[in-house]
Amino acid sequence: MLTSRKAAAPHANRLLGCWHARLRATSTSSPTYFAGYRLSLYRAHKPIEFVYFIETGVGSLVNTMANGQAAEVGTIGNEGVVGLPIMLGDDRAPTSVYVQVPGAGLRIKATLFKKELERSISMRAVMLRYAHAFFNQVAQSAACNQFHSLEQRCCRWMLMTHDRMKSDEFLLTQEFLAMMLGVQRTGVSAAAGGLQRAGLIRYKRGNVTILDRRALIKRSCECYGVSKKEFDRLLGDRAMRTGRSGRM
Ligand SMILES: [Zn+2]
């Protein structure tokens, strides 16, 4: 389910910053609430009609194989935007994006967003830095899947999701966690069960509650810290201040 409300959602997307008010003021953009788990934000090989600046929740970039098997290859939260192909000059991609953890964000018509990008050099610069940071996240995940344990990767994913949520509790089905980690559901049960027994999380009826974030960081692999550092370097407060010196 995807609904729009007149009331403004609190601004929380780190990319939008000072452009938030301008984009919100346009007649074709509105706060959108991604209430639907597995809601499609765009589909592989189909024209992308909207870009989404997520405020809470998580979008999942998914690659589906010819036999129907799907794996998550990247995640997008309030540090980013769903619709990278648009800012890179294309209107479609071989991957799809689904709502993985329901939340809220700003939905903007792709055609309008392209016009804004053409108008603002500084917005373009920030969006390209995000594209770079996102590529780095995907590259880190590819290496992580190769070398790090299921439990380490599970901790990393919990931390990345926790960073993007306003509360310690969020919806997470075993099905999606299995897709994210690239394992069978039984593997997910074992990993989540281990973290639960150790008192790091509570996992009940598809809801995760983070109980001990510090311990999760200790058990996670280096990849959580590496990706976070890269995002902060490219899109942290300091980078955003210096990156906005151009024409708005
Ligand atoms: Zn790793």
Residue 6 pLDDT: 35
Counting as low any pLDDT under 50, the low residues of the chain are 1-10, 27, 244-248
Residue 218 Cα distances to 139, 210, 221, 246, angstroms: 22, 14, 8, 40
**Bridge partners of residue 51, in order along the sequence:** 108
Residue 112 carries which side chain, given as an amino acid letter? Answer: L
Using only C-alpha atoms, the chain has a radius of gyration, in whole angstroms, of: 18
74 alpha carbon – ligand 1 mean position (Å): 13
The CATH classification number of 2-144+228-243 equals 2.60.120.10
Q: Supply the pLDDT for residue 211.
A: 97
Q: In this structure, are residues 102 and 35 in contact, taking their beta carbons and an 8 Å threshold?
A: yes
pLDDT value at residue 242: 65
pLDDT score for 46: 97
How far does residue 138's CA lie from ligand 1's centre (Å)?
A: 11
Cα 222 to averaged position of ligand 1 atoms, centre (Å):
6
Length of the chain: 248
Mean pLDDT of the chain: 85
How much distance in Å is there from the Cα of 180 to the middle of ligand 1? Answer: 13
* Domain 149-220 architecture: Orthogonal Bundle (1.10)
Q: List C-alpha distances in Å: 69 to 61, 118, 146.
A: 14, 38, 18
Q: Which one-letter DSSP state was computed for residue 210? A: E
CA of 224 to the centre of ligand 1 (A): 7
Residue span(s) of the chain under CATH 2.60.120.10 come to 2-144+228-243
Q: What is the pLDDT of residue 152?
A: 95
Q: What is the pLDDT of residue 103?
A: 84
Q: Report the separation in Å between the CA atom of 113 and the middle of ligand 1, taken as the mean of its atom positions.
A: 34
Contacts with 210 (C-beta within 8 Å, 6 or more apart), sequence order: 158, 162, 168, 169, 200, 201, 216
Asked if 212 and 200 count as a contact pair (C-beta separation under 8 A), the reply is yes
pLDDT of residue 41: 93
Enumerate the CATH 1.10.10.10 domain ranges in the chain, comma separated.
149-220
Q: 155 with 214: CB under 8 angstroms? A: no
Q: How far is the CA of 135 from the centre of ligand 1 (A)?
A: 15
**Measured in angstroms, how far is the CA atom of residue 72 from the centroid of ligand 1?**
15
